[in-house]
Chains A and B, each alone.
Chain A
Amino acid sequence: MEASGVSASPAPSRSARGRAVRTIGQAWAWLFLLMLLVFFSLTGEGFFSPFNLQSILANSAIILIMALGQTFVILSAGIDLSTGYVMGMASVVGAIVMSSLAQTLPVPAAIFIGMAAGLASGMTAGLVNGLIIARLNVPPFIATLGMFSIARGIGFVLSGGMPRPIFIKNLGQLGNGSLLYVHPEAGVSFLSRPPGLEAAQLRQVVGILPHPVTLSIILVIACYWVLSRTKFGLYTYAVGGNAEASSRAGIPVQRHIIKIYMLSVGMAAIAGLLYNVRFTNGAANAGEALLITSIAAVVIGGASLFGGEGTIIGTVIGTLIIAVITNGFVILGVNAFWQFIAIGVVIILAVLMDQAKARLFD
């Protein structure tokens, strides 16, 4: 046998130019986010403050959570169009169960059971999605479009077409409170504002790590770990890269796809429950606008709609780019409608960047 072995054709990335383009190609989303931060910090008064940056994170938590679930679906070469209305449906189920149980049960139990019910309603929708896609071979676009409409209908039927307020005292503290509170004189306190402060002093209290941000961080770490370290994550990439090959290698592809769709709407349901505690109501159309935004976040983060390419970090960056544009435009006083145009441009740019990258390296 020849000693040379199977030799490689020289890779284009060996050249200095190739290396530079490659680095930019991989880091462009980071660079773009950085540019946005610098731009808005210089032009928008009050943009670059810990308070504002933290509120950007808190406000983007719901979208981020939905985008994290969608990342797994898109990696597997699927799409989940149902997440927006499943999020709304879960919030309605959560609101109804919490409100009715709170009259008889202790409040924490009512909240817990309400959340479990909301989550279960979402997971059921995901199980149905997964079964239809994996077992009946219906394309994900169609199956989840069906569930989009079904969840929308169920949400409105259950809520009677109106947002369902949740009458639980201090529920909003769960969604709007922070882990730590700092006051220049009263010091640091945990979970609630330092006691015994007057109204004027209360305004000086700064909340650190709002609960939605803490929840986001936990879920980001969990999803990152699952995707990059576990068999589940590896199989998600494998199924998205080549479902046929995965199946021949012995991966239970159908079962894996069902799990992915359950995860996706499970995350959407968590987003719906976060909506419950943040706005103390449940609304069937709460996630209406968030579906496309969350998919946009995944795509801006570099995931390929053909499957197999994408990361959790990418999705986080994609979400932050959208959130920073939204917040920055508000601070600059730009008409809110312009943000849609800006985000649209970014989505198209992101896909163009990925195509250029693919042309250069593959």
Chain B
Amino acid sequence: MTEQQPLLKVVDLYKHFGGLVAVDDVSIEVYPGEVVGLVGDNGAGKSTLIKMVSGVYHRDSGQIFLEGEEVHFDTPMEARDRGIETIYQDLALCENLDATVNIFLGREPMRQQLGFLNVVDRDHMFTESETVLNQLDIEIPNLRRPMRQMSGGQRQAVAIARAVYWDARLMIMDEPTAALAVAEQRKVLALCRTLRERGVPVIIISHNLQDIFAVADRIVVLRRARKVAELVAKETDTDEVVALMTGSKPGDLL
């Protein structure tokens, strides 16, 4: 795997908020077709690291390479345009709108009415949404229902479908299984594997180590803003990862 060029390469990223160092010279690489689990205790810097990659935060120093090319994202939109899709814990869905609108939000297809009036092409949105949901084996009985009437798993699935539809090259998932019923957690993890099979690498952040071990190929452990270990999932276990997270095992990268 290390023979390949990494899709994402992050070198010595550093970010502080006032006197608090949130991310301290962290480097990671993500290769095509793998799932990387990003773990750490609260405040370890997982979310800050991810937000620098997805364009939400600006880094203080360090470099981000996408397929070997250095990138600077000023806004999340710029990161999305380059294929970095992030699914946040709160999903960022408009609960009052339906699945089709949410999948296309911010990038609505338009058509002309009477030859000069630009209107949103809802039919196109509907058929395309159906297609992508079918591809991912996501079943949503009524696409016209507002999101708030859907279950947590369905919302998560719509958020994933949105990212997939827009040709995600890298998917970042922040706590995708939090607040889901067990059956739905499984479904989301299955979607994660589907993405990997499609060659889309996934960075998954989770507190739930079971989830991480269920899908991740590699595990990166952060503690107090620093990367303390990088492990192959098959060669480690929950105890070791917990020890690294809490600091009872120092980690070989310090």
Contacts and interface: CB of A to CB of B under 8 A. Distances in A.
Interface of A: 1-9, 11, 229-231, 234, 237-238, 240-242, 244-246, 248-251, 307-309, 361-362
Given A231-B118, A250-B80, A6 B106 contact: no
B101 interface: yes
Interface stretch (B9-17, B134-142, B170-178, B238-246): B134-142
Contact of B105 (A2, A246, A309, A362): A246
B141 A234 contact: no
B119 interface: yes
Contacts of B94: 237-238, 241-242, 245-246, 308
Given A6-B140, A229-B119, A230-B119, A308 B151 contact: no
A245 B145 CA distance: 18
B149 A230 contact: no
B92 A245 contact: yes
A229 B113 contact: yes
Contact of A8 (B95, B96, B113, B141): B141
Contacts of A234: 97, 101, 108, 120
Nearest to B193: A1
Contacts of B108: 231, 234
Contacts of B96: 237, 240-242, 307-309
Interface of B: 76-77, 80, 88, 90-97, 101, 105-108, 110, 113, 117-120, 137-141, 145, 148-151, 153-154, 157, 184, 186-187, 190, 193-194
Contact of B95 (A5, A242, A248): A242
24 contacts: A1-B137, A3-B137, A6-B153, A6-B154, A6-B187, A7-B139, A8-B140, A9-B151, A229-B119, A229-B120, A230-B120, A231-B118, A237-B94, A237-B97, A238-B105, A241-B94, A241-B95, A242-B94, A246-B105, A248-B88, A249-B92, A250-B80, A307-B96, A308-B94
Contacts of B193: 1
Given A5-B139, A242-B92, A308-B96, A250 B107 contact: yes
B150 A8 contact: yes
Contacts of B90: 244-245
Contact of B149 (A11, A248, A251): A11
A218 to B, nearest CB: 15
B138 A5 contact: yes
Contacts of A309: 96
Contact of B194 (A1, A6, A7, A251): A1
Nearest to B159: A245
A231 B80 CA distance: 20
Contacts of B77: 250
A241 B76 CA distance: 20
A230 B118 contact: yes
Nearest to B158: A6
A296 to B, nearest CB: 22
Given A2-B187, A309-B96, 19 more contacts: A1-B190, A1-B193, A7-B139, A8-B140, A8-B154, A11-B145, A11-B149, A231-B110, A231-B120, A234-B120, A237-B96, A237-B97, A240-B96, A242-B92, A242-B93, A245-B105, A249-B92, A250-B76, A251-B106
B93 A245 contact: yes
A244 B152 CA distance: 19
Interface core residue of A230, A245, A246, A361 (most chain B CB under 10 Å): A245
B139 A6 contact: yes
A244 B92 contact: yes
A26 to B, nearest CB: 13
Contacts of B139: 4-8
A248 B76 CA distance: 6
B130 to A, nearest CB: 13
Nearest to A11: B149
Given A5-B139, A230-B120, A249 B151 contact: no
Contacts of B187: 2, 5-6
Contacts of A2: 137, 186-187, 190
Nearest to B77: A250
B106 A246 contact: yes
B123 to A, nearest CB: 12
A238 B104 CA distance: 11
Nearest to B149: A362
A11 B149 CA distance: 8
A81 B59 CA distance: 41
B131 to A, nearest CB: 14
Contacts of A237: 94, 96-97
A361 B145 CA distance: 11
Contacts of A362: 148-149
A247 to B, nearest CB: 8
- Pairs A-B, 5 closest by C-beta atoms: A5-B139, A249-B106, A308-B96, A250-B106, A241-B96
Contacts of A7: 139
